[in-house]
Amino acid sequence: MGGLKEIDVGTTSERASDTIITTGKFSKSTEAEKTMAILNVIGSSTKFRALLDSVAMVAPVDSAVLIQGETGTGKEVIARAIHEASPRRKNRLVALNCAAIPSTLLESELFGYEKGAFTGAVTQTVGRFQAADGGTLLLDEIGDLPLELQPKLLRVLQEKQFERLGGGHTLQVDVRVIAATNQDLGQLVRERKFRADLYYRLNVFPMILPPLRDRREDIPLLAEHFVQKFASQQGKVIDAIPEEVMEALEHHDWPGNIRELQNVIERGVIMTTGPVLSPRTTEHWTRGDAAPLRVPRAAAEPVDIKTLADADRAHIIATLRETKWVIGGPHGAAAQLELPRTTLIAKMQRLGISDEISRSRSGQSPRRFVRVMGGLPSRLQDEAAADLRVMAAIAG
């Protein structure tokens, strides 16, 4: 991480926007930057800035956007940012998660239905396309859209026309579609699970969100942001993050990406009683006594399996090694294990797998200085001036 300054700084929210409001080099992004700051979207890495440029570029036009990225990388956040930075922000952003709705109901959710269209259709109902008229429709988990519905979506994308279920009347809408997925849609096309024509129609402006482990420079800012957020939600004042905690956060692999980081910090804030974030936030990654099972560095290393949980853990880790730690997508560990991706991630968290992976890789010795967010209270400075280096990570 570049540019550590030894200084007392302002509040986290001021700092968050400092990192987003940039100089002339990114002047094209100014509107997007403001939007990101308003939405509390945090980041300052080169990859994040490239993303910002893409948001700025695509927001004003009506083209379809396809956002791809692992779970928790911020696909929904970026979709909202595009909507908010676009002229359509005056109207609604309507979201539909294609994986969360049974396929038999998806058609009526998307297009609505007429009274009497099917048993139980007692009134005429507006679908998401109509609800999003003049605004933006976010089709989340688009890879789960059933094949038989795909031609209907293609038609409304191309002709902006559709009919409600059970209705002969053609409706015209003005909707910008943003699709998101953590699956490799191109691969689904090759496997004939997703129609090529719809893929090309959606993929007008592709955006690939990098996993958190590929933009580790953003971890301190995100961590500070989440500490601030959860401390304020829990009525606490937390001014400092121990360096050993920050180092552990920076070294972790984050299979659940920003969502996982958020959850770790929330748990840490719950465990914190004073002004310094509890070292317990990450101690299960850095201590040797946290879990009964070691993760082998090489597949050949012996694993001590005593319980069913140990067996589950070992099997999941072996699968993750095979898939090179890819969780989602048709060739990811979730598919190999025949589990929904979210179930696998929850299992990994419950079994401490991400913790184990990180611990087995890092083996770092914790440093003693404290990284500070916001002003370090003078009380704390007096007490620990000899031990603490008051550091703030300021980008640029």
- Per-residue contact track with ligand ATP, 176 to 215, x per CB under 6 A? ------x---------------------------------
Residue 213 interacts with, from ligand ATP, Mg ion, none (CB under 5-8 Å by kind):
none
| Cβ at position 295, least distance to Mg ion in Å | 29
Exposure letters 23-55 (e unless 16+ CB within 10 A, then b): eeebeebeebbebbbeeebbbbbebbbebbebb
Q: Which of 53, 76, 133, 312 binds Mg ion (CB under 5 A)?
A: 76
* Identity of the residue, 75 or 251, whose beta carbon is nearer to Mg ion in the bound complex: 75
Q: Which stretch binds Mg ion (CB under 5 A): 4-12, 69-77, 266-274, 314-322?
A: 69-77
| Cβ at position 99, least distance to Mg ion in Å | 10
| Cβ at position 274, least distance to ligand ATP in Å | 25
Give the residues across from 95 on adjacent strands: 138
- Per-residue contact track with ligand ATP, 37 to 66, x per CB under 6 A? ----xxx-----------------------
* Identity of the residue, 42 or 295, whose beta carbon is nearer to ligand ATP in the bound complex: 42
Residues 6+ apart with CB under 8 A from 343: 334
What is the 3-state secondary structure of the chain? CCCEECCCCCCHHHHHHHHHCCCHHHHHHHHHHHHHHHCCCCCCCHHHHHHHHHHHHHCCCCCCEEEEECCCCCHHHHHHHHHHCCHHHHCCEEEEECCCCCHHHHHHHHHEECCCCCCCCCCCEECHHHHCCCCEEEEECHHHCCHHHHHHHHHHHHHCEEECECCCCEEECCCEEEEEECCCHHHHHHCCCCCHHHHHHHCCEEEEECCHHHCHHHHHHHHHHHHHHHHHHCCCCCCEEEHHHHHHHHHCCCCCHHHHHHHHHHHHHHHCCCCECCHHHCHHHHCCCCCCCCCCCCCCCCCCCCCHHHHHHHHHHHHHHHCCCCCCCCCCHHHHCCCCHHHHHHHHHHCCHHHHHHHHHHCCCCCCCEEECCCCCHHHHHHHCCCCCCEEECCC
How many residues contact Mg ion, by CB under 5 A?
Answer: 2
- Per-residue contact track with ligand ATP, 62 to 91, x per CB under 6 A? -------x-xxxxxxx--------------
- Sites for ligand ATP among residues 240-259 (CB under 6 A): 258-259
**Length of the chain counted residue by residue:** 396
* Identity of the residue, 79 or 390, whose beta carbon is nearer to ligand ATP in the bound complex: 79
Does 143 engage in binding with ligand ATP (CB under 6 A)?
A: no
* Identity of the residue, 12 or 108, whose beta carbon is nearer to ligand ATP in the bound complex: 12
How many residues contact ligand ATP, by CB under 6 A?
Answer: 15
Does 133 engage in binding with Mg ion (CB under 5 A)?
A: no
* Identity of the residue, 39 or 117, whose beta carbon is nearer to Mg ion in the bound complex: 39
| Cβ at position 256, least distance to ligand ATP in Å | 8
* Identity of the residue, 73 or 108, whose beta carbon is nearer to ligand ATP in the bound complex: 73
* Identity of the residue, 69 or 279, whose beta carbon is nearer to ligand ATP in the bound complex: 69
| Cβ at position 312, least distance to Mg ion in Å | 26
| Cβ at position 170, least distance to ligand ATP in Å | 33
Q: Which stretch binds Mg ion (CB under 5 A): 22-30, 76-84, 283-291, 366-374?
A: 76-84
Does 329 engage in binding with ligand ATP (CB under 6 A)?
A: no
d(CA 68, CA 207) in angstroms, rounded, equals: 6
d(CA 75, CA 70) in angstroms, rounded, equals: 9
Does 354 engage in binding with ligand ATP (CB under 6 A)?
A: no
Residue closest to ligand ATP, measured at CB: 74
Q: Residues interacting with Mg ion, by CB under 5 A?
A: 75-76
Q: Residues interacting with ligand ATP, by CB under 6 A?
A: 41-43, 69, 71-77, 182, 258-259, 262
